[in-house]
Amino acid sequence: MDFSIRDANVEDCKDVARMNLDLAAYEKIPEQCVPHKFCDLDLEQDGFSKNPFFQCLIAEVPQQHKSKDGYTSIGFALYFYSYCAWRGRSIYLEGLYVMPEFRGQGVGKALLSKVAQRGLAAGCNMLNFIVMHANQSSVDFYMRQGGSDLTSDVGYHYMAFKEDALQQLAQT
């Protein structure tokens, strides 16, 4: 199948928001991706401002291979740079998604490879990400690419302070 990977631009925000909602539904956690809190306007502000919080890649197909719903943007990889106190520079893959009808055709691997290339070019020595426990097909995909499961290898717990807890923590 013919597809290409390119840097996202501000015009891609609606497609990224659409696919992000699809990803949340696919992982059976649609309530985690609240449309009024995360939308194309948030993406525009947070990804394409003077000091962006993230970068994004888009997988797209030519018009003649568009999806059954008429989309040519068929996948995305959203990432940002971070730092590990033990290992130095790293790159964090926040989201990787390929529309179901285009899976198994190398799109996800191409997106992941491009993120790895970006990380290496920036001097990173590690690519980090999380995968839902229930998403075994994605776990298997990442393991086939050479990834390791730090949950079992090291015993890490991925922790977060969400909205109200973050506010409460900041006030203590």
Answer whether CATH 3.40.630.30 is correct for domain 4-129: yes
CB of 99 closer than 8 Å to CB of 22: yes
Does the structure show a pLDDT above 80 at 36? no
Domain map of the chain by residue range?
A: 4-129
pLDDT-derived band at 38 (thresholds 50, 70, 90) equals low
- Mean pLDDT for 37-41 is 66
Write out pLDDT tens, residues 89-137.
999 999 999 999 999 999 999 999 999 999 999 999 999 999 988 889 9
Does the structure show a pLDDT above 80 at 53? yes
What pLDDT score was predicted for residue 26? 82
What pLDDT score was predicted for residue 94? 95
Active site members: 142
What pLDDT score was predicted for residue 34? 62
| CB proximity list for 59: less than 8 A, separation 6 or greater | 3, 4, 5, 73, 74, 75, 76, 98, 102, 107, 110, 111
